[in-house]
Structure 1
């Protein structure tokens, strides 16, 4: 009589370090938020809170909170992608972070956000598409910080 251990059907949940993704995403969201505050605080004060009908009036703390939450969620996705494609070096994770920054900029900030803000009637609704250079810079910094912090956090999480 044969016995089965059942190990074949189990997924290796330890291979995805989602905690490092969250920490990296939060760090990237905070650094990106600081750049946004320095370069165009209206994005954090009105546009991001407007996504969820939390502005107007302008509210930078709420916008920053929502933005950091988005950063954490996108960090989890980054961790999943990193694990799925089997990156084995810090350099490759940094490159993936930068690529992830470009993807989030193009898809979420440049295409989805203008449509979403227009749909909810935000006063901060940008034109569609909104391929703005400052936003690209912010998202590249997000990806760079995400990748770097993810690498560091992998060792202690």
Structure 2
């Protein structure tokens, strides 16, 4: 006597990225939007200050963009790791998490780390410490929101 057992196989055409991958894509897209804002509203930051962090004398717009995009990608991966470990999946909540992340990045990296680092490398136009620049806050907030939305779309 024989018995038959049926097993089900679920098929899906959906492509989902791992959290770090979705964070990478979100970081790149958010970085491109923020970089465009920097180029239009705060040109000396992308052409002079960002390259100076790595010892590149400006104006060096291309170097500033490359460094900015690399930083944006790495910070996107960090975001992916943080929210990937959480239960967040709603686009609105991920956009909110991205906004909060962008504000934290602004406070820690733009307002504190960047002025200290620029002073350490002898950049002549080092910003004050802390450097609570409202335009920089807007750029970091936009980066975070775009990062969160793109993360949600790919995750």
5+ residue gaps in structure 1?
1-13
Residue in 2 aligned with 1:27?
A: 29
Displacement after TM superposition at 1:88 (Å): 2.7
Residue 86 of structure 1 is matched in structure 2 by 87
The aligned runs of 1:5-154 (5 Å cut-off) are: 16-54=18-56, 56-154=57-155
Aligned-residue RMSD, C-alpha: 1.4
1:15 to partner: Cα distance: 9.3
Cα gap change, 1:15/1:153 in structure 2, threshold over 3 Å: closer, same or farther? closer
Q: Secondary structure at the match of 1:85?
A: coil
CA contact (8 A) 2:51 2:67 kept: yes
Q: TM-score, normalised by structure 1?
A: 0.85
Unaligned ranges ≥5, structure 2: 1-15
Instruction: Say if 1:15 and 1:83, in contact at 8 Å, map to a contact too.
Output: no
Query: Is the Cα–Cα contact under 8 Å of residues 98 and 144 in structure 1 kept in the other structure?
Result: yes
Greater Cα radius of gyration, structure 1 or 2: 2
Superposition deviation, residue 152 in structure 1: 1.4
Q: How many residue pairs were aligned?
A: 140
